[in-house]
Structure 1
Amino acid sequence: MTKPVKSSGTLFLIPSSLGSEYTDVVFPAAFSGFINTLEVFIVENARTARRFLKSAGYSKSFDDATFHIMDKHTSDTEQAAFLDEILTGRSAGLLSEAGCPGIADPGQQIVRYAHSLGIPVKPLVGPNSILLALMASGMNGQQFCFHGYLPIRKHQQVQKIKEIEKDAKGGGATQIFMETPFRNLSLAEEVIRQCSSSTLFCIATDLTMETEEIITKPVGQWRKDGLPKLHKRPCIFLLWYPGKKG
């Protein structure tokens, strides 16, 4: 078992806003206190990270802060090197563009490196779209499975949707998945085309924002009523078969 390094700082996992401008509503009061202890950040985009931190109450000068960029071009070696400052005693914050680091977002590799080096890891409390959607869906919250992003290619996507519905009917667990905002409508249309009329389908849109909308209906009812406007709106999708009680 790796022991914590006595002289090291801590890696704080900082959840970001899901889009809400009211950070005082979606984050606890102690949140700004934690982030104001930090001057080193590991982020996807420095500009948007600064904007979020400022809105969340970060009061230090960004001129004195260090921002390490973590994106698809960042090598494993570079990610591991981001932790060097923590090993010298400086704590750092890991921040993704939206939601929670490591949950359908980058960050898990850096967290794994931190554990291997004995660096303490502290997740901060904040909004999580997956759990918020599940809470409000009326579906099985005792058993659920998150699939992340479904395949883009149509035949693979159709196959995956059918597999997900089969799992929902067979085991009774809520099936949760997502898509990039500009492909949300296409995916939702495919779900109501492929799934049984009695399967429940929840669409949770713009979570924590003023335009938030969370609707659960049988697929057959969605076919009759039509879908809401989903283009370029962040969504979480959930499927559950009511024949299996949660």
Structure 2
Amino acid sequence: MAGTLYIVATPIGNLDDMPPRVAATFGAADFVAAEDTRVTLKLLNHLGLKKPMVSYYEHALHHGAAILERIEAGESCALCSDAGMPCISDPGEQIVTEALARGIHVVPVPGASACVTALAVSGQKTGRFVFEGFLPVPKKERRERLEVLRTETRTILLYEAPHKLRTTLDDLIKTCGPDRSVTLCRELTKLHEEINKTTLGEAAALYAGTEPRGEYVLVLAGAEPAAEEAEAPTLEDAVAAARTLMEGGTPPSAAARQAAAGTPYSKGEIYRQLVRGD
């Protein structure tokens, strides 16, 4: 009988946030598939566990087939990323996709996720949001992605590394303007946690003189919805408005002229309808 693939969330920074079920799953699994085995080893040591490990990092995804074959042979696997919920902006998603295609039982063991944690404390709108992860690196793809986000009305969640933060802020300013609201969340749940709600322009000015440190989640306010254009009135609407004016004592010619203002119809069109009594 085939085993089970467990998708195991790990703390995003503070090991005291370790859910009991996460620790129990690691303890029961036959082996662990880790993004970086060195990082996961520290976690297992914290739990007092020793487990066989294999890396599924992007450059070692040829291990994916071997992982799935072991599960099909009856072993259970706990798959985890360096921090947070695996398979979110993470190469583990390919393993899950292939596991489901093979009919392998996939079980989530949920926990903290940096993007949702940041959203909750951002002070930005939370009713509708879109997760973008890391922006593309190639310039053309990056420009195209930013252009799409320029008019996005939902709150936007972005990940960014410290050495790329300044460039990303500059690109967002060019696309969205310096006054767009943004919350920068740094080192969430860790000792130097910071949550700074500001604007893109103010954030760029801050980091022009301050070295970015730690991993960032940017929670960017969505664009203001475009004002809906008022539906153009019909000829019947304009004629009805003219008749209302006439009932108030306005002569037909003046009523037609006033009713025509702001409509695609001429005074003459409206006047003819009034005279004909249509």
TM-score by length of 1: 0.79
Q: Is the 8 A contact 2:35 2:81 kept in 1?
A: yes
- Structure-1 residue corresponding to 2:79: 94
- Is 1:69 the equivalent of 2:55? yes
Equivalent residues of 1:202, 1:237 under 8 A apart: yes
Distance 2:141 2:36 in 1: 32
Which structure 1 segments of 5+ residues have no match?
1-6
Give distance in 1, aligned partners of 2:200 and 2:165: 16
- Of the three residues 32, 39, 56, the one matched with 1:48 is 39
Report which of the two structures shows the higher radius of gyration computed on alpha carbons. 2
Q: Alpha-carbon deviation of 1:122?
A: 1.4
- One-letter code aligned to 2:206: G
1:152 to 130, 137, 142: 137
Q: Deviations over 1:9-30 (max 9, x none)?
A: 2111122332x2x312x22233
| Other-structure match for 1:4 | none
Unaligned runs of 5+ in 2: 226-278
Determine if the alignment matches structure 1 residue 211 to structure 2 residue 192. Answer: yes
Q: Which residue of 2 aligns with 1:175?
A: 156
Aligned-partner Cα distance in 2 for 1:126–1:37: 18
User: Secondary structure in 2 aligned to 1:83?
Assistant: helix
Q: Does 1:202 align with 2:196?
A: no
Q: Output one character per residue of 1:72-128: Cα deviation in whole Å (capped at 9) or x when no partner.
A: 33355x312212222232211112223222101120111112112222111212220
Structure 1 CA distance for aligned equivalents of residues 223 and 211 of structure 2: 25
Decide whether the 8 Å contact of 1:174 with 1:239 is kept in 2.
Answer: yes
C-alpha change, 1:155 and 1:119, in structure 2 (3 Å) is: closer
Structure 1 segment 137-148 matched on structure 2, within 5 A: 137-148=122-133
Where does residue 15 of structure 1 map in the other structure? 9
Identify which of structures 1 and 2 has the higher relative contact order when contacts are C-alpha pairs closer than 8 Å and 6+ apart: 1
CA contact (8 A) 1:133 1:236 kept: yes
AA of the residue aligned to 2:188: L
Distance in 1 between residues matched to 2:3 and 2:120, nearest whole Å: 35
Which of 146, 149, 155 pairs up with 1:164?
149
2: distance between equivalents of 1:241 and 1:110?
Answer: 33
The reply on whether 1:136 has 2:128 as its aligned counterpart is: no
Contact 2:26/2:32 (<8 A) preserved: no
1:197 Cα deviation (Å)? 4.3
* 3-state secondary structure, aligned to 1:226: helix
Q: Which moved more, 1:225-234 or 1:135-144?
A: 225-234
* Equivalent position to 1:81, from 57, 61, 66: 66
1:50 partner letter: L
Classify the secondary structure of the residue corresponding to 1:73: helix
Q: Give 1:141 shift.
A: 1.8
Q: How many matched pairs?
A: 224
2:29 is matched with 38
Verify: 1:109 aligned to 2:58, yes or no.
no
Between the aligned partners of 2:110 and 2:155, the Cα distance in structure 1 is: 24
8 A Cα contact 2:8 2:22, kept in partner: no
Change in Cα spacing, 1:155 to 1:73, as seen in structure 2 (3 Å) is closer
Secondary structure in structure 1 of the residue aligned to 2:191: coil
Contact 1:12–1:124 (CA<8 Å) still a contact in 2? yes
The whole-number CA distance in structure 2 between the counterparts of 1:121 and 1:115 is 7
Identity of aligned residues (%): 25
> Which is helix-richer, 1 or 2?
2
Aligned alpha-carbon RMSD (Å): 2.5
For 1:72, the aligned partner's letter is E
Q: Which amino acid aligns with 1:122?
A: V
User: Alpha-carbon deviations, 1:54-89, whole Å to 9, x = none?
Assistant: 22x2x33x3xx321221233355x312212222232
Tell me if the contact between 1:197 and 1:221 (Cα under 8 Å) persists in the aligned partners.
yes
Q: CA deviation at 1:204?
A: 1.0
Contact between 1:162 and 1:195, CA under 8 Å: does it hold in 2?
A: no
